[in-house]
Amino acid sequence: MLYTTMKLLTPIPYFMLTHRYLTSKTPRVRFAPSPTGYLHLGGLRTALYNKLFAKSHKGSLILRIEDTDQTRKVEGSINALIQDLQWAGIQCDEGPSIGGQCGPYIQSERLDIYQKYISKLLDNGTAYRCFCTERRLNLLRRDAMRTHSIPKYDNRCRNLSFGEVMEKLNAGTPNCIRFKLSSECQFFEDLIFGGIAYDVSINEGDPVLMKSDGFPTYHFANVVDDHLMGISHVLRGVEWQISTTKHILIYKAFGWKPPEFGHLPLIVNADGTKLSKRQSDVKVEDYRRKGVYPLALVNYITLSGGGFDHVPGAGIRLKSMDDLAEEFQLRKISSHPSRLNADLLDECNKLEMRRRLRDENECRALVATLQQLVKCSYPKEKLNVSQEHVKGVLEWATARISRLEDLVTDKYGFLWILPSNSDLAEINKDLLEKLIPVLESLSNYDQIHIKQNLRDFCTENNVKFPILMKMLRSVLSGLAEGPGVAEMMQLLGKQQSLLRIKAFIK
């Protein structure tokens, strides 16, 4: 294994691990994505948990854009990242669109800062210039593959004399700057995984800190920025855990005290498989487009990733960002991969829809959104999208659907469109005329009373109940399938039900 996880004989209490920061000053954490396209679910979880940790301790969340690899930068992705965070309700305290005392918050705008600090490492002898060509490095990799060795730089330029370095510089030879790795085994206490020990020099040669184009690598810029921005706790994905001992060595080279580190486990599907872009379960934008509410997605992540007390059998409770921050506990995060359960997302979305219906302002917005959806879905039809009708549909639907978009599928088309009567010639109009006063006299227009009165009507008029139901389904919806007829009539309401029956008769 490249690194080992070790449990201490006497576990260090969590409050002692964070005592240095929580008693002297409020914590500062950061979310530092690369602008390579889109915010994925793992990135959202990292941003969310950093926000909850900061909020629970009255600290600050800094947004920093790590764009030192210009070849992977995607145009417009910075704004997209910011918009996705804002949509999810994750407000940063400092960042590119907010400002703050530690800016700039985009790494490509901090190049002069990195040049200043790389000079410090060159001066104290912990870094050196490397003049190896890409061709030579490729040959090293090829030889390693041929001999089944670990591909790594052989540190050739580490031992160049001052005169040799100056000669190459005067000749204009391109160069990068590498860090001198020590062979000592580094140890740190991961706030989630426990004790971690790893000798990075076993599997890596001296890493590049500054590329020949003047841009820093992730490892160097990350350490410099975290220090200068006063980051007290680094909460990031587990894929960076193996790099942490390297970062600690860089901190030591500067004489800086590193922050506390905690690494969040991978997010996987319920069956343990990797999340897939093809299945649209990676991008936050995909969930947003499919009608998932931000608070529902946030709760969905917390139900899968740990950090909270969940009582078995207690059901799901939708929590606000304030509730989540108050209940969040870093020590409760599991080190095992976080398994997502799609059913939980649907349940969370239903709960959020119900919550919005109970709020006057949000209910109004919800109704307006559904009205617009219906109009866009059926642009050529005569529609019933009155506020009263739409609200009634929503109250009925929250137990049956998890997304607003479900209500504009063919299955529920009857809710909005008056059916075409051209193919209903065989329906007994006289029977329906007799039914109208029965329906008009109903004081309780719910499906139980509707169904019972329809049965009584069939008995009194010597009509088989299924035949009447088939007639009413055709008249009310024009569909062969759908909800039960009594349920459909309750959903349409007395006025709309009678209107459709009378329209057919006429």
* DSSP secondary structure string for all residues of 61-93: EEE-B----GGG--TTHHHHHHHHHHHTT---S
CA distance 436 to 432: 6
* DSSP secondary structure string for all residues of 98-140: TB-TT---BGGG-HHHHHHHHHHHHHTTSEEEE---HHHHHHH
CA distance 362 to 356: 5
Q: Which among 307, 324, 305 is positioned nearest to 266, based on CA atoms?
A: 305
Active site residue 502: no
Tokens of 319: 């929590």
CA distance 399 to 420: 29
Q: What angle do CA 356, 361, 363 make, to 5 degrees?
A: 40
Q: Which residues 6+ apart lie within 8 Å of 51 measured at CB?
A: 31, 61, 90, 91, 92, 321, 325
Sequence letter at residue 97? S
CA distance 169 to 160: 12
Q: Are 216 and 68 in contact (CB under 8 A)?
A: yes
3-class DSSP state of 355? helix
Selecting among 25, 116, 274, 277, the annotated active-site residue is: 277
CA distance 276 to 409: 26
Q: Which residues 6+ apart lie within 8 Å of 69 measured at CB?
A: 34, 215, 218
Q: Give the dihedral sign, CA 121/127/132/136.
A: negative
Q: Which residues 6+ apart lie within 8 Å of 366 measured at CB?
A: 353, 356, 357, 394, 404
CA distance 62 to 428: 70
Q: Are 67 and 108 in contact (CB under 8 A)?
A: yes
Catalytic residues: 277
